[in-house]
Amino acid sequence: MTQLDADVLVLGGGPAGTWAALTAAKRGARVVLADKGYCGTSGATAPSGTGVWYIDPDPAKREAARTSREEMAGFLIHRDWGHRVLDRTYENVNTIAEWGYPFPLDEHGVSRRTSLQGPEYMRLMRRRVVKAGVQILDHSPALELLVDESGAAAGATGVRRQEGGSWTVQAKAVVVATGGCAFLSGALGTNVLTGDGFLMAAEAGADLSGMEFSNAHAICTTHGSVTKTLFYSWATFFYEDGTPIPGADSRKRSVIARALMQGKVFAQIDRADAATQVAMRASQPNFFLPLDRAGIDPFTQRFEVTLRSEGTVRGTGGLRLRDETCATSVAGLYAAGDAATRELICGGFTGGGSHNAAWAMSSGSFAGEGAADFAKSVGGKRRTLRPAGGVALRETQGERSDPAAVVAAVQSEIFPYQKNYFRSGDGLTESLAQLDGVWRAVRAADAARPEHVVRAREAAAMLATARWMYRSALARPETRGMHKRLDHPEIDGGQRHHIITGGLDEVFVGTAPIVETAVARAAA
C-alpha cells in the first residue's frame, strides 16, 4: 500500500497532466502525478506527431485564427477562451523550445513551431516534471476520488500494477487529466482512454458539457491502429469491385461511412507525386508501418480501410468548466485536456489537428495553477475523507459482472455507424434502453475481484460515457458540428447553447448559454 500526501494530485500524465504538474509545482505545491501507463509514453499524444495551434501574436493573425472555425464549430466557441489559449500556447511552445526541443527550421532559417513529435515532446515533458520535483506513480491507474466532509475533492486511490497493491494520495486539490474516451476501438494511443476521469468526477458530483460532440471517426487500415488521416487527402476511395466511390474523400467521411454500411472500402494514395511521397514517409513514418508490415505499397496498391471511433478524444465533450482556472463544479477538482470540454475553443467540431494540443497544454497550465492556489486556501485544515466511487468497487451481495461483456455491450451501441455516426431520435432511444439496462445490472453487481477491478472500472466508465453521450445527443434535435441527426438534418438557431449532462443512475440533461461574440451573433 503506497500512502502519500500532496498539495495537488494530478491524474493522467499526457500533455495536460504534465503541464498541470509543472505549473502547480512552479507555484510551490507538492505534486504527485499518477498515470495508468508510463507517463511520457501513454495516451493519445505520445505515439503521434501532433499539430499545434501556435499563432504569432500579430493581432490580425490571432483574430483570423479565433474566428476561422466559428461556422464549423456550430457557433459555440467562446472567443475570450480562444484568446487565453492562444496566448498560453504560444508561451508554452516557446518554453519547450528553450528546453531544447528540436524544432525544425524553415527555408528562411526560422524555427517552425506548429507541430510536435509526440515521443520527443512527451519524453521532454517527463524529464521536466521529474526535474520539478513531482513524484510520479507510473502504471498506477486511479480508481476513485476521495472527498472531504464538504464534498470537496481530497485525493484519490488506485492500483499499482507493477509493484502490486494499491495507492492512496491525500491531496488538497485534484486535477483530472485522464484524457477522453475512445471506447477501446483500437486507435493508436487510446487503449488507456476509457473515460475513467469522467466517471470519477461524476461520482463526486461534477457535470459534463458537449457530450453529443463525441462521434469522431478516423480513417484507418482495417488491420492497423494508426489513425493519422492527413495523408488520405491524397487518396481515392473504392468499393470492393475497384469502382471509385463517388464523392468520397477524407473530409467527407459520411460518404465513406455510408459505403462501409454497404460493404468493404479500399483506399489508394494515388494522388501524391514522387516528392510528396518522400516527404510523407519522412514526416509520419508510423503511418506506413502497418502497410509496410503487410507488404502493401499504398501509392500503387489498394488497401482496406475502415472508420475507427475516437469518441470524445477527437470530439470535444468533457467535464464542464466553471471558470478560467478550469475548476469543475466540485470544489478542489480541476479538469484539463481531453478530460475537459473543449467546446470553449472548438465548439462542436473536432479539436484534432491543432486545437486539442493547444488546449491540452494551456488548460493543463491553468488547471495546475488553479489547483495549487486552491490547495493554499485549504491550508492545514484537518479533513475527514471518504471514497466517492461506487460501481464495481463496493460489496452488494449481487453477482459479479463480466467487464468484457459490458465493454462488448457498450461497443455494440457505439461502433455501428447507423447508431452513432448517423443519429436519430428513435435509434438513440433504443440504444439508451440497452445501455440503461446494462448500467442497472452493473450497478447491482458485486465489487470486482482485485485482479479485474481496473477493467471493471474502465467498462463502467465507458458505459457511463455512452449514456451521457446519447442523452445529450437526444437533447439536441438538430445537426450541428460533428453531431448529425438524420431526423433533424439542419442547424437550428434556437439551439445555440451547450448541453449539460451528468448523474449516474438517473442521467440528467440541461442547457447552458454561450457567451455572445460579434461574429457568431451575426452569422447564427
Ligand X SMILES: Cc1cc2nc3c(=O)[nH]c(=O)nc-3n(C[C@H](O)[C@H](O)[C@H](O)COP(=O)(O)OP(=O)(O)OC[C@H]3O[C@@H](n4cnc5c(N)ncnc54)[C@H](O)[C@@H]3O)c2cc1C
178 binds ligand X (CB under 6 A): yes
Which residues in 40-69 contact ligand X (CB under 6 A)?
42-45, 48, 50-51
C-alpha cell at 390: 461506487
185 binds ligand X (CB under 6 A): no
Q: Which of 6, 7, 8, 17 binds ligand X (CB under 6 A)?
A: 17
C-alpha cell at 259: 459505403
Number of residues counted as binding ligand X (CB under 6 A): 45
Shortest separation between residue 39's beta carbon and ligand X, angstroms: 6
Q: Which of 309, 354, 424, 501 binds ligand X (CB under 6 A)?
A: 354
Smallest CA-to-CA distance from 33 within 18, 51, 50, 23 is with 18
119 binds ligand X (CB under 6 A): no
Q: Is there a contact between 199 and 144 (Cβ–Cβ < 8 Å)?
A: no
Residue with Cβ nearer ligand X (22 or 432): 22
Shortest separation between residue 141's beta carbon and ligand X, angstroms: 4
Shortest separation between residue 408's beta carbon and ligand X, angstroms: 20
142 binds ligand X (CB under 6 A): yes
313 binds ligand X (CB under 6 A): yes
Q: Which of 21, 177, 181, 372 binds ligand X (CB under 6 A)?
A: 177
Shortest separation between residue 362's beta carbon and ligand X, angstroms: 11
d(CA 259, CA 196): 33
Beta carbons within 8 Å of 143's beta carbon, 6+ residues apart: 156, 157, 158, 159, 200, 389, 393, 453, 454, 457
Residue with Cβ nearer ligand X (358 or 428): 358
Q: Is there a contact between 392 and 453 (Cβ–Cβ < 8 Å)?
A: yes
d(CA 358, CA 59): 18
CA angle at 218 for the pair 89 and 10, rounded to the nearest 5°: 40
Q: Is there a contact between 189 and 285 (Cβ–Cβ < 8 Å)?
A: no
70 binds ligand X (CB under 6 A): no
Shortest separation between residue 186's beta carbon and ligand X, angstroms: 11
Strand spans (E) along 287-367: 303-311, 318-319, 333-335
Q: Which of 125, 192, 257, 445 binds ligand X (CB under 6 A)?
A: 192
Shortest separation between residue 345's beta carbon and ligand X, angstroms: 10
d(CA 338, CA 214): 11
Residue with Cβ nearer ligand X (320 or 496): 320
d(CA 21, CA 372): 9
Residue with Cβ nearer ligand X (192 or 256): 192
Among the listed ranges 5-13, 58-66, 94-102, 391-399, the one in contact with ligand X (CB under 6 A) is: 5-13
353 binds ligand X (CB under 6 A): yes
193 binds ligand X (CB under 6 A): yes
- For the window 87-106, what string marks contact with ligand X as x by the rule CB under 6 A? --------------------
Q: Is there a contact between 254 and 340 (Cβ–Cβ < 8 Å)?
A: no
Residue with Cβ nearer ligand X (42 or 472): 42
d(CA 347, CA 349): 6
360 binds ligand X (CB under 6 A): yes
Among the listed ranges 54-62, 190-198, 296-304, 327-335, the one in contact with ligand X (CB under 6 A) is: 190-198
196 binds ligand X (CB under 6 A): yes
d(CA 384, CA 511): 34
338 binds ligand X (CB under 6 A): yes
Shortest separation between residue 377's beta carbon and ligand X, angstroms: 25
Amino acid occupying residue 222? T
Gyration radius of the chain over CA positions: 22
C-alpha cell at 18: 504534465
Q: How many helices (H) and strands (E) does the chain have?
A: 14, 18
How many other CB atoms are found less than 10 A from the CB of residue 87? 14
Beta carbons within 8 Å of 257's beta carbon, 6+ residues apart: 217, 307, 417, 421, 422
d(CA 202, CA 333): 11
306 binds ligand X (CB under 6 A): no
148 binds ligand X (CB under 6 A): no
d(CA 233, CA 23): 38
290 binds ligand X (CB under 6 A): no
Shortest separation between residue 69's beta carbon and ligand X, angstroms: 12
d(CA 220, CA 440): 34
Shortest separation between residue 338's beta carbon and ligand X, angstroms: 4
Q: Which of 6, 8, 9, 16 binds ligand X (CB under 6 A)?
A: 16
187 binds ligand X (CB under 6 A): yes
Q: What residues line the site for ligand X (CB under 6 A)?
A: 11-17, 34-37, 42-45, 48, 50-51, 141-142, 177-179, 187-190, 192-193, 196, 227-228, 310, 313-314, 337-339, 352-357, 360
